[in-house]
């Protein structure tokens, strides 16, 4: 982290706890500019948690940043209160009203004599980066939510952020500041999961809950993360061939593939094939079709003849379903016929 951040002063919570976050974030921008710190969304967020930890932290954890809260305050400060104008790409300018706000805050804020105590430690282990780097954020968050359920922690945005960051720090840290979580990234991912009906959430309720589909996917991620990772399996998350190999390795660990190897292919169930194709019985056929196409391409590219033969057989067994383009009741009808399709 930039050493200039060490010059930031932490203020007493009692002197700002009743003040609007929109006003405080303008003060943050002014402070950053005076210290000649490069202005970015991330640097504004980090400065905010250092200056006003109780206002911009995850609930119960004043040491941990709530970046989404900072970004929301910044947008409101610009769009509604007109305390700043401009945007990050061109730079922010503090308005006359904003400057008046800063003057008032300088007379109001009091320097804290001690830093707030850190929140209680969350009893979760951090996974090795190689174990999760090829997983997408959605799957990891679903798994993090299932862990929260297991340890009886409320599934709020703050707790989901904390658990996701604790277990998968490289995926959910703030860009350039790995010691802080990026709650904005977590919130965006949760919104997508709600749209995909993998999570249930009501705007008037602070809690997020796994849907039946989300529970299945969370369990799958848990199983995949429990598999031992060796250097020969994943050498670097930035080499495309490594990630491709991990996709085929995932297939090799499925029950469907094991039945294929033991010459019991006809015993494979619909749910087991859905797992191979990265979906559930509620996934649209077009998605299955694209996933199968991608997996076959990978198998061909890395010259895994066994995996390719398996996927070709899966394609044959799924032929009617993939061509039908039906969901809902059409899928149920297909499930009844699947055992007889060879």
Six token digits for residue 270: 């619909």
Residue 54 burial (CB count, 10 A) = 16
Residue 233 has pLDDT above 60, yes or no: no
Helix then strand count (H, E) for the chain reads 17, 8
pLDDT of residue 337: 39
Q: What is the mean pLDDT of the chain?
A: 82
Fold (CATH) for 129-225: Arc Repressor Mutant, subunit A (1.10.10)
What is the average pLDDT across 37-48? 88
| pLDDT tier for residue 203 given thresholds of 50, 70 and 90 | confident
pLDDT of residue 113: 80
pLDDT of residue 227: 62
Each residue's pLDDT tens digit, 45-62:
999 999 999 999 998 898
Q: What global pTM score does this model have?
A: 0.63
List beta partners, residue 208: 201
Six token digits for residue 221: 């991620």
Q: Which residue has the tokens 């948690």?
A: 49
Of 215, 118, 125, 129, which Cα lies nearest the Cα of 166? 125
pLDDT of residue 320: 66
Q: What is the DSSP letter of 47?
A: H
Residue 281 has pLDDT above 70, yes or no: no
Each residue's pLDDT tens digit, 135-181:
889 999 999 999 999 988 899 999 999 999 999 998 999 888 889 99
What is the average pLDDT across 235-259? 66
């Amino acid at each position: 982290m930039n050493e200039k951040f060490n010059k930031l002063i932490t203020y007493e919570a009692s002197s700002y706890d009743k003040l609007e976050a929109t006003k405080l974030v303008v003060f943050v921008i002014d402070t950053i500019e005076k210290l000649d710190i490069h202005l970015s969304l991330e640097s504004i967020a980090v400065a905010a948690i250092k200056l006003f930890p109780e206002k911009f932290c995850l609930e119960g954890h004043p040491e941990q940043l709530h970046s989404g809260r900072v970004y929301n305050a910044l947008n409101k400060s610009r769009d509604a209160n007109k305390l700043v104008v401009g945007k990050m790409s061109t730079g922010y300018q503090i308005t006359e009203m904003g400057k008046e706000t800063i003057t008032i805050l300088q007379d109001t804020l009091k320097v804290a004599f001690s830093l707030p105590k850190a929140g209680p430690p969350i009893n979760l282990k951090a996974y090795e980066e190689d174990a999760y780097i090829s997983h997408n954020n959605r799957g990891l968050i679903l798994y993090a939510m299932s862990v929260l359920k297991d340890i009886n922690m409320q599934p709020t945005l703050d707790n989901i952020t904390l658990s996701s960051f604790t277990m998968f720090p490289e995926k959910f840290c703030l860009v350039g500041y790995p010691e802080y979580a990026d709650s904005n990234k977590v919130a965006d991912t949760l919104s997508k999961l709600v749209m995909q009906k993998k999570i249930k959430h009501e705007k008037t309720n602070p809690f997020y809950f796994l849907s039946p589909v989300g529970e299945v996917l969370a369990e799958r991620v848990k199983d995949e993360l429990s598999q031992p990772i060796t250097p020969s399996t994943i050498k670097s998350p930035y080499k495309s061939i490594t990630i491709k190999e991990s996709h085929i390795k995932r297939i090799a660990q499925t029950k469907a593939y094991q039945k294929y190897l033991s010459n019991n292919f006809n015993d494979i169930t619909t749910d087991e094939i859905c797992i191979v194709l990265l979906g559930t019985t509620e996934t649209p056929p077009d998605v299955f079709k694209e996933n199968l196409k991608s997996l076959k391409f990978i198998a061909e590219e890395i010259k895994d003849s066994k995996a390719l033969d398996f996927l070709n057989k899966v394609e044959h067994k799924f032929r009617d379903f993939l061509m039908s383009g039906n969901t809902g009741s059409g899928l149920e009808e297909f499930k009844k016929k699947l055992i007889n399709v060879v």
